[in-house]
Amino acid sequence: MPGHDMRDYLDMARAGFPATYDIEMRHWKEAAALEPAKDAKPQNAAITYWARAVGSGHLKDAAATKQDLARYDAMVAVVKKSPDAYLAEFMDTDHDEIRAWVAFAEGNNDEAAKIMGAVADKQDAHGKGEVEIPAREMLADILLESGHPEQALAEYERSMTIDPNRFNGLYGAARAAEMAKQSATAEKYYAQLVKNCAGATSDRPELARAKEQVAGKTVASGN
């Protein structure tokens, strides 16, 4: 029934939109504090717990991240017993991403990269949702934040072959190149980010920093 389909879509959107927004904007505290709607279906409540785990993982709050994993898995268990049981098989990706963030929050950086790398390889082989956060970009974030900028740069660049010109991909690649002392590559990605956002009124600190880097390079060049 059309009405039923619309209700299902709205229920998913109530969970998906704020989750995606906070993660894309890198609002980790806000993501970690998200709460599912009281009447949310379990597969949609799971989206919220996934977003919470990504936020808590970035904040290195291991206890919260593990709690979010437990809540996510509880929702999977409910889905498996529901009329929507077929959806459970599509929930493995988010489950494994949460496992990676648990490992990262606990300081097990190699394990986190291994788990997220496997998810990224799976996405490369089988595809991902149109607005799904690329797992390979998350892998690059983990590598960058754990002190491996060269490896992070390679993963950001690989991610952007499938998802080109993503804001966080370009900024991450620029930061990784900068930390890896690859100034020309950093300049290229900062410049591309500024170009992509020309005319935007965004107050994102990442964009402000990119503009500063590009402006500084222009001054240094004598232009």
Predicted pLDDT at 67: 98
Report how far residue 85's alpha carbon sits from residue 59's, in angstroms, rounded to the nearest whole number.
33
* Residue 216: predicted pLDDT: 84
- Could you tell me which of 142, 125, 113, 19 has the C-alpha nearest to residue 72? 19
Domain boundaries 116-223, CATH class = mainly alpha
The pTM for the full model equals 0.93
pLDDT of residue 222: 41
Domain segments of the chain: what residues? 1-107, 116-223
pLDDT value, residue 71: 98
* Ordered DSSP codes for 146-176: TT-HHHHHHHHHHHHHHSTT-HHHHHHHHHH
pLDDT in tens for each of the 223 residues of the chain? 344 578 888 889 999 999 999 999 999 999 999 999 999 999 999 999 999 999 999 999 999 999 999 999 999 999 999 999 999 999 999 999 999 999 999 999 999 999 999 999 999 999 887 779 999 999 999 999 999 999 999 999 999 999 999 999 999 999 999 999 999 999 999 999 999 999 888 999 999 999 999 998 654 444 4
**Residue-by-residue DSSP string for 40-66:** --HHHHHHHHHHHHHHHHHTT-HHHHH
pLDDT at res. 2: 40
